[in-house]
Amino acid sequence: MTTSAQRHRFVYAFAEGHRDWKDLLGGKGANLAEMTNLGLPVPPGFTITTEACRHYLETGHEPPQLRDELVEHLTALESRMHKRLGQADDPLLVSVRSGAKFSMPGMMETVLNVGLNDESVHGLAEQSGSQRFAFDSYRRLLQMFGKTVLHIEGSHFDDAMADAKRRADVSDDLELDADDLARLVDEYKVIITRHSGQEFPQDPTMQLRMAIHAVFESWNAPRAVSYRRQERIRSELGTAVNVCAMVFGNLGADSGTGVAFTRDPASGARGVYGDYLPNAQGEDVVAGIRNTLPLSEPERTDQRSHGELLTIMATLESHYRDLCDIEFTIERGKLWMLQTRIGKRTAAAAFRIATQLVDEHVIDLDEALTRVTGTHLAQLMFPSFEDSDARERLTTGIAASPGAAVGRVVFSSTQAAHWASNGEDVILVRRETNPDDLDGMMAARGVLTSRGGKTSHAAVVARGMGKTCVCGADELAVDERSGHLTANNGVVINEGDTLSIDGATGEVFVGAVPVTPSPVTRYFAGELDPTEAHDDLVTAVHRLMRHADHRRRLHIRANADTPEDAMRARRMGAEGIGLCRTEHMFLGERRKAIEDVILASVGIDGTADQEAALESLAPLQEADFVALLTAMDGQPVTIRLIDPPLHEFLPDLTELAVHVAVADERGEELTHTRHLLTAVRRLHERNPMLGLRGVRLGLVIPGLFTTQIRAIAEATVQRIMAGGNPRPQIMIPLVGSVQELELAKDQARAVLREISERTGVPLDLPIGTMIELPRAALTAGELADAAEFFSFGTNDLTQTTWGFSRDDVEGSFFSAYLEKGIFGVSPFESIDTEGVGRLVGLAAAEGRSQRPALELGVCGEHGGDPDSIQFFEHAGLDYVSCSPFRVPVARLEAGRAVVRNETVSDDR
Ligand code: PEP
Ligand code: MG
């Protein structure tokens, strides 16, 4: 957006900027410029660009011309304000604030009141008519400068303040008088000299330059770095610095400061919301040192400023065409705007506001789709706790994995597994979890930890499992050994007591809070009629879903193995099944049959009767497929031939070995068990993820695939005879070479031909392959010769591309990798576009160039992930397939992907 001439400047007056120049001026600077140009009352100032920051961080020095530009803009500001920075008798004071392209709330630094020194503090006292105000402003500068610029521990200043209050026998800063504050100023100066080895600089220009450098440096403060990692903000962007003439909200009862939203960011309700703090500076609102008042307060005390504020908010909302949040200050009855930006909002507010703005003719439905996300929608689909005053909140931690879980507290994973096996709902509480806690986490309804952030082990693993988790609840002292936890209000929770944890808000409640199902999920399940406007959230979701369906190009299928799941998926809007994992049909009692088939393949006498086992399976499979094809009648059903991890379908090696060892000891014969042990030993794999699976199993164990194909064919014939419209597709798993595919396909064609000839029903079923190995992706052109469709198995493709097994790594080093920033997000959650995604793109292109009508889909878990869906739209796939519960998210994201491709670019 900038011209090349502009690129060589490092400083822009607010009036020279533009809201679209966020790359250069940061979000705050760009919006200050916009407000200035709208004629709103913004205190004058200028913005130092992100380019200057990048230069400083790369070289350790300002760009050489920055000094001159700074002087030039400062001089202009001084002449506009009719006073000089730090002028002894009437000082111009400035604020120095960070402001990056993407909002990083509270992560970087601010220094206020720059320009005060031992002389100008008296000038300020004179001009303001208040000694108290002048010394309060000076001590604030010393404190912020000391902490931010000179890196002095904040507690030194806090301790001195606490002493001052004790001496004066007061509890509130506001009660300290001018003398108390003047003494505090002296003490702060001593603290600065003692802890930094240098005196507080009295030269105002020196203060300004040091403050600017400190703000540049705060881009790389540890908390900012980890925030960026979590939010996936690129670390090379740098921050801009805004230098702005100070206005004061702490000049007495006719002054104050506040934050406000043009609509309620929690519910989305129309109207103005916010907090106001009389006689205070902005920092006081954020620090929460005094209770804020509602925005109606200035209406009572200063009608003119309040009226002006409302007019400005309306102007901003119609200008930005979205919910805005603002910061303002009233200085002796004069309103000043200090900041605005598009306001953050909850998921429910996002949907409501988007449709309100459509109704108000501010945006169209396409734009409304860009204002909501699949992640928002997913949040709305979890059950939640009933809102009631009776809830007793124990604490609030970090919302790490959504959901509402209620259970009895246990402090060890062994206990969690033990209680859960007795049918108890448990909440596993740990200081932090580690790989040994996996069983306990799996058994628990929810996980609560007192340490660790969103990338901690607990958070990562719980999200992977879809388990509710609140982490980092650091107000809880967890004593795992003696089995209790203590909240900072003294409440003690013992093992066996009940807690309720809310993974969407991070709240923890004492006792069992009633859970309500989500109205949005009930709507998707067909239980609520969206046209009966009992809940405007449901209506908003319905409208945007309809538009997403209208706009999307990608089809959405579901991963489902049972008729119940298939029906549920259909209600949620699925247009077929993208993956039926047939090995899931062989759990429980049927597992033994597969075990027999596999064991018999080793050829050790008497272990199992393969033919009998297959025969017993055939009618069961046929009935399975009839039911599934009935539930999905008229829609494609991709049936993947069996792909079991071998160890899950074999007797346990250790148990057998122990059995035999005991028999040896007792001199018992146990011939069958010994044969079994030999067979299991032969089949035992160190690494089942990379072993005899998928097509490999189908090719070495005769009869396995053909039994399934026969069942598919017979079920199809049955459905056709019954007047149905079955559309099965046969999918071969874990193919790495075209020869494998051709051999499996030959088996399939032979069976289909035979049954078609016998029944007279044409059976021209599509046969395709999964692409879940790098070799398959790299030889996609050849595979496309033999395959009528590809379905990307991005779970295995991620494992095999990275060379790690999900079961092993998610619980061990993933949290460390996320913390170190090696991953922005787990590659199992969101597709690794540079690596795995590249293979997907390559295979899609080569496959299509060989066979233009090749159908392309994805059935790994990424098929339901919002970011990944954006990628699959780009890659030109025909459909994504995901679990039934995520189908609505996929529909919405697929619609958004089309609209966003046409409009938005974002280089986060
Ligand atoms: C895949 O690998 O992405 C896939 C869908 O198969 P599964 O998860 O069953 O291995
Ligand atoms: Mg797979």
- What residue spans define the domains of the chain? 1-117+203-246, 126-202, 250-289+315-345, 383-517
Q: Is the CB of 793 under 6 A from ligand 1?
A: yes
Residue ranges of the alpha helices (H) in 178-281? 178-196, 204-218, 222-231
CA of 881 to the centre of ligand 1 (A): 11
Q: Whose CA is nearest to atom 9 of ligand 1?
A: 581
Classified as helix, coil or strand, 542 is: helix
What average pLDDT score do residues 250-276 get? 89
Among 187, 171, 211, 192, smallest CA distance to 135 is for 187
**pLDDT the model gives residue 3:** 47
Measure Cα distances from 359 to 352, 541, 547 in Å: 11, 14, 14
The mean of the pLDDT values for the chain is 92
Angle at which helix 591-600 crosses helix 610-631, to 10 degrees, equals 140
Residue predicted with more confidence, 296 or 72: 72
**pLDDT the model gives residue 846:** 98
**pLDDT the model gives residue 5:** 45
Rounded Cα gap, residues 744 and 731, in angstroms: 10
- Label the pairing between strands 110-114 and 94-100: antiparallel
Ligand 1, residue 581: give the atom nearest the CA.
Answer: 9
Joined tokens for residue 563? 């008729």
pLDDT tens digit sequence for 560-589: 999 999 999 999 999 999 999 999 998 888
Ligand 1, residue 559: give the atom nearest the CA.
Answer: 5
- In single-letter form, the type of residue at position 283 comes to E
Model confidence at 658, pLDDT cuts 50, 70, 90, reads: very high
Phi first, then psi: give them for residue 340, nearest 5 degrees.
-145, 155
pLDDT tens digit sequence for 345-361: 989 999 999 999 999 99
Left (φ > 0), alpha (ψ -120 to 50) or beta: where does 169 sit? left
Classified as helix, coil or strand, 127 is: helix
- In single-letter form, the type of residue at position 738 comes to V
Ligand 1, residue 861: give the atom nearest the CA.
Answer: 3
Q: Residue 860 CA: which ligand is closest?
A: 1
**pLDDT the model gives residue 163:** 95
Per-residue pLDDT at 62 exceeds 50: yes
CATH numeric code, 383-517: 3.50.30.10
Residue predicted with more confidence, 586 or 723: 723
Rounded Cα gap, residues 873 and 876, in angstroms: 5
User: Roughly how many angstroms between the first and final C-alpha of the chain, as a whole number?
Assistant: 17
pLDDT tens digit sequence for 9-61: 999 999 999 999 999 999 999 999 999 999 999 999 999 999 999 999 999 99
CATH numeric code, 250-289+315-345: 3.30.470.20
CA of 875 to the centre of ligand 2 (A): 20
156 labelled catalytic: no
Model confidence at 268, pLDDT cuts 50, 70, 90, reads: very high
In the block, tokens 């306990």 appear at 440
Q: Whose CA is nearest to atom 3 of ligand 1?
A: 793
Residue predicted with more confidence, 496 or 460: 496
CA of 867 to the centre of ligand 1 (A): 19
Rounded Cα gap, residues 179 and 168, in angstroms: 10
Among 273, 219, 274, 215, smallest CA distance to 244 is for 215
**pLDDT the model gives residue 285:** 66
Model confidence at 531, pLDDT cuts 50, 70, 90, reads: confident
Tell me, letter by letter, the H, E, C secondary structure of 362-423: CCCHHHHHHCCCHHHHHHHCCCEECCCCCCEEEEECEEEECCEEEEEEECCHHHHHHHHHCC
Model confidence at 288, pLDDT cuts 50, 70, 90, reads: low
Among 816, 415, 418, smallest CA distance to 430 is for 415
**pLDDT the model gives residue 286:** 60
Q: Which CATH number fits domain 126-202: 1.20.80.30, 3.40.50.11740, 3.40.50.12280, 3.40.50.300?
A: 1.20.80.30
CB neighbours (10 Å) of residue 729? 23
Rounded Cα gap, residues 227 and 790, in angstroms: 39
CA of 579 to the centre of ligand 1 (A): 9
Rounded Cα gap, residues 168 and 653, in angstroms: 76
CA of 380 to the centre of ligand 1 (A): 27
Domains 126-202 and 383-517 share a fold: no
* H or E segment to which residue 869 belongs: helix 866-875
What average pLDDT score do residues 134-161 get? 95
Among 836, 837, 835, 857, smallest CA distance to 788 is for 857
Among 666, 684, 664, 665, smallest CA distance to 674 is for 664
Model confidence at 617, pLDDT cuts 50, 70, 90, reads: very high
**Whether 237 contacts 100, CB under 8 Å:** yes
Q: Whose CA is nearest to atom 6 of ligand 1?
A: 793
**pLDDT the model gives residue 173:** 82
**pLDDT the model gives residue 289:** 59
Number of C-alpha atoms within 13 angstroms, CB side, residue 701?
Answer: 30
CA of 775 to the centre of ligand 1 (A): 16
Among 340, 399, 339, 342, smallest CA distance to 371 is for 342
Rounded Cα gap, residues 268 and 323, in angstroms: 9
**pLDDT the model gives residue 628:** 98
Rounded Cα gap, residues 85 and 71, in angstroms: 11
Rounded Cα gap, residues 393 and 649, in angstroms: 46
**pLDDT the model gives residue 908:** 40
- Label the pairing between strands 426-430 and 404-410: parallel
DSSP string, 758-779: HH-------EEEEE-SHHHHHT
- Give all strands of the β-sheet with 392-396 in edge-to-edge order: 392-396, 507-510, 498-502, 404-410, 426-430, 446-449, 468-471, 398-401
Per-residue pLDDT at 906 exceeds 60: no
Q: Which of 55, 376, 457, 862 is catalytic?
A: 457
**Whether 438 contacts 414, CB under 8 Å:** no
Rounded Cα gap, residues 451 and 442, in angstroms: 19
Joined tokens for residue 387? 């809102």
* Domain 1-117+203-246 architecture: 2-Layer Sandwich (3.30)
**Whether 839 contacts 802, CB under 8 Å:** no
Q: Which of 244, 471, 859, 882 is catalytic?
A: 859
Residue of 561, 579, 802 to mutate, ligand 1, most atoms within 8 A of C-beta: 579
CA of 336 to the centre of ligand 2 (A): 59
324 labelled catalytic: no
Rounded Cα gap, residues 842 and 820, in angstroms: 30
CA of 793 to the centre of ligand 1 (A): 5
Residues 6+ apart with CB under 8 A from 802: 827, 832, 835, 836
Rounded Cα gap, residues 295 and 265, in angstroms: 15
Between CA 133 and CA 141, with CA 137 as vertex, the angle to 5 degrees is 170
Rounded Cα gap, residues 210 and 191, in angstroms: 18
Ligand 1, residue 792: give the atom nearest the CA.
Answer: 3
Q: Is the CB of 346 under 6 A from ligand 1?
A: no
- Give all strands of the β-sheet with 334-342 in edge-to-edge order: 293-294, 270-278, 256-263, 324-331, 334-342
Measure Cα distances from 356 to 547, 562, 739 in Å: 15, 40, 57
Q: Is the CB of 858 under 6 A from ligand 1?
A: no
Per-residue pLDDT at 4 exceeds 50: no
pLDDT tens digit sequence for 472-523: 999 999 999 999 999 999 999 999 999 999 998 899 999 999 999 999 999 9
Ligand 1, residue 791: give the atom nearest the CA.
Answer: 5
**Whether 776 contacts 823, CB under 8 Å:** no
**pLDDT the model gives residue 275:** 86
Task: Tell me the pTM.
Answer: 0.86
Residue of 859, 861, 879 to mutate, ligand 1, most atoms within 8 A of C-beta: 859
E-assigned strands of 835-888? 855-858, 879-882
**pLDDT the model gives residue 533:** 62
In the block, tokens 């124990």 appear at 394
Joined tokens for residue 459? 């958070």
Residues near ion ligand 2 (CB < 5 Å) are 772, 793, 796
Q: Is the CB of 584 under 6 A from ligand 1?
A: no
- In single-letter form, the type of residue at position 723 comes to G
Rounded Cα gap, residues 663 and 10, in angstroms: 83
Lowest mean pLDDT among 232-236, 370-374, 853-857: 232-236
* Displacement of CA 471 from its chain's centroid (Å): 15
Q: Whose CA is nearest to atom 4 of ligand 1?
A: 793
What average pLDDT score do residues 267-284 get? 85
Q: Whose CA is nearest to atom 8 of ligand 1?
A: 795
Phi first, then psi: give them for residue 904, nearest 5 degrees.
-90, 145
**Whether 548 contacts 894, CB under 8 Å:** yes
Sign of CA dihedral 886, 892, 895, 898: negative
**pLDDT the model gives residue 2:** 44
What average pLDDT score do residues 804-829 get? 87
